[in-house]
């Protein structure tokens, strides 16, 4: 670095004076300045006061391979020397984007043989809306316009992506796209405890049928969903849910967009979440872990059915980004996929890490303030409660979550709070010993949270 390092206090003051952060309560942030993260190694991040934290969230669900992947740095550096940028407009292309398109097509099962590159998951979901619309128009079914999505789904933060997302407080802050409608998610603990998980899963899938009936199948273009809702609280659906949803989509000729921005690249124990749940998407959103977070990159995998329609007819597709297929970002992705192949990351998750992690995570159900545990592959969530039977909260809404999140930090662990649930998504490069340590710290944080609310452990 050329610049003189600033002190923590100097950084915090400048940060507060000039930097508007994403998804942040600014009045709050002024009162409590942020932690400045200065370095990271393997699965540990370090702040400007020299404190270390195990990263239980893989950055923001993206650094699945941790922070010490030198080959990605080298690949990006090499590419920046060779060709730092050229666009993919006007009949041009470049080797990293070509190679990555071919590599992703080879990695995914048929019918996924085409990709449209973006810089983020949000832009990829915008792209999905543009592709879906174009597809139905080219098929001369212009009435198919409505896109169904789910409450508490997260699909990004452009106008289109936030419209697809199902967060009410977000919708209250802008004008949601009028053709996006939301149905209930399969959150059994929040909404279904009076029923068996199986029956509740079917009932939630039937919500999709009801919405289709309400609008008319001729008017519904697509359904978008995460295989497991991530930011909404790691909502693992009942086993009965996805087969019934897929049946309904097929019966009504509605396109299915599987938003794999979190589930993709190994998180669920398969390469993609749709493979874990055996669904058949028409479009797949990816981003985040595709570059291990080392460069911004997202995209849409387009199935043959759609690609055939898009490529058969003339007329320009009026959509794209300056950095679609950016050579340095694509080089980062190629290097990431190379590591995953070399280390057999997905198989290791499925056979070793996920079973080990889930055994420890599910055991947290015995803790006095844990009302419910969910998990799959290498992520999970727990509901914090005072009373396991009634689900009574420990304090005011979100208070237990905020308390536990701070207790995690105090114990050298980053976990995220979603209301009063705690969520975790450890890097896929953890050793089993590191996972044990991470669970030990999570347990210590739960103990501290219980003590804070006067619950005996």
Ligand X SMILES: *Cc1c(COP(=O)(O)O)cnc(C)c1O
Of 397-426, binders to ligand X (CB under 6 A) are none
Q: Does residue 294 touch ligand X according to CB under 6 A? A: no
Smaller CB distance to ligand X: residue 261 or 394?
Answer: 261
What are residue 180's DSSP bridge partners? 147
* Binding residue for ligand X, selected from 100, 231, 301, 424, defined by CB under 6 A: 231
Q: 262-281 mask for ligand X (x: CB under 6 A)?
A: x-------------------
Q: Does residue 230 touch ligand X according to CB under 6 A? A: yes
Q: How far is it, in rounded angstroms, from Cα 258 to Cα 284? A: 5
Pair 96, 130: CB distance under 8 Å: no
- Contacts of residue 320, defined as CB under 8 A and 6 or more positions apart, other chains included, come to 88, 89
CB atoms within 10 A of CB 84: 10
Phi-psi region of 90 (alpha: psi -120 to 50; beta: other; left: phi over 0): left
Q: Write the burial class of residue 325 (CB in 10 Å: 0-12 exposed, 13-18 middle, 19+ buried).
A: buried
Q: How far is it, in rounded angstroms, from Cα 302 to Cα 309? A: 11
* Binding residue for ligand X, selected from 287, 369, 384, 394, defined by CB under 6 A: 287
Q: How far is it, in rounded angstroms, from Cα 122 to Cα 161? A: 5
Stretch that binds ligand X, among 114-122, 178-186, 246-254, 431-439 (CB under 6 A): 114-122
State the nearest-atom distance from the C-beta of 396 to ligand X, in Å: 27
Residue with the shortest CB distance to ligand X: 121
State the nearest-atom distance from the C-beta of 128 to ligand X, in Å: 10
Pair 120, 296: CB distance under 8 Å: yes
**Which residue in 35, 71, 107 sits closest to 286, CA to CA?**
107
Q: Does residue 233 touch ligand X according to CB under 6 A? A: no
* Binding residue for ligand X, selected from 55, 197, 207, 226, defined by CB under 6 A: 226
Pair 56, 427: CB distance under 8 Å: no
Q: Does residue 121 touch ligand X according to CB under 6 A? A: yes
Q: Does residue 126 touch ligand X according to CB under 6 A? A: no
Stretch that binds ligand X, among 13-21, 169-177, 256-264, 342-350 (CB under 6 A): 256-264
Pair 123, 229: CB distance under 8 Å: no
Of 337-376, binders to ligand X (CB under 6 A) are none
Q: 146-185 mask for ligand X (x: CB under 6 A)?
A: --------xxx-----------------------------
State the nearest-atom distance from the C-beta of 283 to ligand X, in Å: 13
Smaller CB distance to ligand X: residue 261 or 369?
Answer: 261
What are residue 375's DSSP bridge partners? 380
Pair 349, 343: CB distance under 8 Å: no
* Binding residue for ligand X, selected from 298, 371, 401, 427, defined by CB under 6 A: 298
Query: How many residues form the binding site for ligand X (CB under 6 A)?
Result: 16
Per-residue H/E/C for 156-219? CCCHHHHHHCCCHHHHCCCCCCCCEEEECCCCHHHHCCCCCHHHHHHHHHHHHHHHHHHHCHHH
Report phi then psi at 85, rounded to 5: -160, 140
State the nearest-atom distance from the C-beta of 155 to ligand X, in Å: 5
Smaller CB distance to ligand X: residue 54 or 262?
Answer: 262
Smaller CB distance to ligand X: residue 123 or 394?
Answer: 123
Smaller CB distance to ligand X: residue 164 or 394?
Answer: 164
Phi-psi region of 377 (alpha: psi -120 to 50; beta: other; left: phi over 0): left
**Residues binding ligand X (CB under 6 A):** 61, 120-122, 154-156, 226, 230-231, 259, 261-262, 287-288, 298
């Amino acid at each position: 670095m050329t610049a003189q390092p600033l002190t923590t206090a100097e950084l915090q003051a400048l940060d507060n004076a000039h930097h508007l952060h994403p998804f942040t309560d600014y009045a709050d942030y002024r009162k409590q300045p942020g932690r400045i993260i200065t370095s990271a190694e393997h699965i540990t991040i370090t702040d400007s006061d020299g404190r270390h934290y195990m990263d239980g969230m893989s950055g923001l669900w993206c650094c699945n391979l941790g922070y010490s992947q030198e080959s990605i740095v080298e690949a990006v550096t090499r590419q920046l020397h060779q060709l730092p940028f050229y666009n993919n407009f006007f009949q041009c292309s470049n080797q990293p984007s070509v190679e990555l398109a071919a590599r992703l097509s080879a990695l995914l099962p048929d019918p996924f043989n085409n990709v449209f590159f973006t810089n983020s998951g949000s832009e990829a979901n915008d792209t999905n809306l543009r592709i879906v619309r174009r597809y139905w128009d080219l098929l001369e079914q212009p009435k198919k316009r409505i896109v169904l999505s789910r409450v508490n789904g997260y699909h990004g933060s452009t106008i289109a992506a936030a419209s697809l997302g199902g967060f009410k407080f977000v919708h209250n802050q802008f004008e949601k796209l009028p053709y996006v409608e939301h149905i209930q998610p399969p959150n059994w603990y929040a909404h279904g405890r009076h029923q068996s998980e199986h029956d509740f899963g079917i009932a939630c899938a039937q919500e999709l049928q009801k919405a289709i009936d309400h609008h008319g199948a001729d008017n519904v273009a697509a359904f978008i969903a995460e295989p497991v809702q991530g930011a909404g609280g790691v909502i693992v659906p009942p086993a009965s849910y996805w087969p019934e949803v897929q049946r309904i989509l097929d019966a009504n000729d509605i396109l299915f967009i599987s938003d794999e921005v979190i589930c993709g690249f190994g998180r669920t124990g398969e390469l993609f979440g749709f493979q874990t749940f055996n669904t058949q998407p028409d479009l797949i959103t990816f981003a985040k872990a595709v570059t291990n977070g080392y460069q911004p990159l997202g995209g849409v995998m387009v199935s043959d059915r759609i690609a055939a329609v898009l490529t058969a007819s003339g007329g320009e597709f009026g959509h794209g980004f300056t950095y679609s297929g950016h050579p340095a970002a694509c080089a980062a992705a190629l290097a990431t996929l190379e590591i995953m192949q070399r280390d057999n990351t997905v198989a290791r998750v499925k056979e070793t890490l996920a079973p080990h992690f889930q055994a420890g995570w599910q055991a947290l159900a015995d803790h006095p303030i844990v009302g419910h545990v969910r998990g799959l592959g290498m992520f999970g969530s727990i509901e914090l409660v005072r009373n396991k039977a009634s689900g009574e909260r420990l304090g005011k809404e979100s208070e237990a979550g905020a308390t536990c999140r701070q207790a995690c930090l105090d114990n050298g662990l980053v976990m995220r709070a979603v209301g009063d649930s705690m969520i975790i998504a450890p890097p896929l490069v953890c050793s089993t010993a590191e996972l044990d340590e991470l669970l030990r710290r999570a347990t210590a944080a739960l103990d501290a949270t219980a003590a804070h609310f006067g619950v005996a452990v």
